[in-house]
């Protein structure tokens, strides 16, 4: 009887073993996620300095004349030509970026201020009896930025408001000591494109091109008590490069799988 029981148990084990092996063979292996790809994250704020070149074009039209305090007379615009001016520039910038988690999209805002000394002049188109001269002294902007980051490289476009400071003079050619003079701070708009690279977790470098349009404004040139009004149309181009010191950015925060 004992021999029969042992034989029965052995036979049952031999039948069950292949079935258990088949069950084990079809079980899917456990999936293990690959380690995350750590990329540079641009979220954070920064400040820095820049330098570059500035190119200005101004067009003039005489639109009025008068005597203080009696006022003046306006008349149809008389074209007085235009001139170019160019100079180096240098300044500072400050801003903040936000990188959308899990993507390369980066949004930001930036303010900058640059000093320059772009001087230009031209003779009037009526025989060159008088000279019109200008001097651009500063340039500033507040812009929004949107870009896409490939790890440590960020390509971006920007746009927003801009401001500048200009001095003017109009005088008999060769006699600048006796000049009608004027000055203004005017607003306009700017758009630009650039690229920025993170050399370390706290230092980046950038290169960008910006176009500025300040429209047409009326500027009074005075040689008291007489004044003349010119409509001045102005556009600018700027190419600059700079360095930024970052706060809060770095690898790992924006890891992507």
Neighbours of 128 (CB within 10 A): 11
Query: Rounded mean pLDDT of the chain?
Result: 89
Q: Is the pLDDT of residue 4 over 50?
A: no
> Which residues, in sequence order, are CB contacts of 70 under 8 Å at separation 6+?
none
Show me where the domains of the chain are located: 41-251
Residue found under tokens 């500063």:
138
Share of the chain above pLDDT 70, in %: 83
Q: Does 41-251 carry CATH code 2.40.160.20?
A: yes
pLDDT at 39: 86
Helices marked H in the chain? 2-26
Q: What is the mean pLDDT of residues 95-122?
A: 97
The predicted model scores a pTM of 0.83
């Amino acid at each position: 009887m004992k021999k029969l029981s042992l034989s029965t148990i052995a036979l049952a084990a031999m039948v069950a073993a292949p079935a258990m092996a088949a069950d084990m063979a079809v079980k899917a292996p456990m999936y293990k996620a690959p380690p995350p790809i750590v990329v540079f994250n641009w979220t954070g704020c920064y400040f820095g300095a820049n330098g570059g070149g500035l190119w200005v074009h101004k067009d003039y039209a005489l639109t009025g004349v008068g005597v203080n305090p009696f006022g003046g007379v306006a008349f149809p615009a008389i074209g007085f030509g235009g001139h170019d001016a160019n100079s180096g520039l240098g300044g500072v910038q400050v801003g903040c970026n936000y990188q959308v988690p899990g993507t390369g999209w980066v949004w930001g805002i930036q303010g900058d201020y640059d000093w320059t000394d772009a001087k230009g002049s031209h003779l009037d188109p009526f025989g060159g009896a008088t000279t019109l001269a200008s001097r651009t002294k500063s340039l500033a902007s507040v812009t929004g930025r949107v870009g896409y980051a490939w790890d440590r490289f960020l390509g971006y476009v920007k746009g927003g408001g801009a401001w500048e400071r200009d001095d003017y003079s109009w005088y008999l050619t060769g006699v600048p000591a006796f000049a009608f003079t004027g000055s203004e701070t005017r607003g306009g708009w700017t758009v630009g494109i650039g690229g920025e690279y993170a050399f370390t977790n706290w230092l980046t470098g950038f290169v960008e091109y910006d176009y500025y349009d300040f429209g047409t404004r009326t500027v009074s040139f005075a040689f008291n008590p007489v004044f003349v009004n010119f409509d001045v149309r102005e556009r600018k181009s700027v190419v600059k490069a700079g360095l930024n010191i970052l706060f809060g950015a770095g690898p790992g925060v924006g890891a992507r799988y």
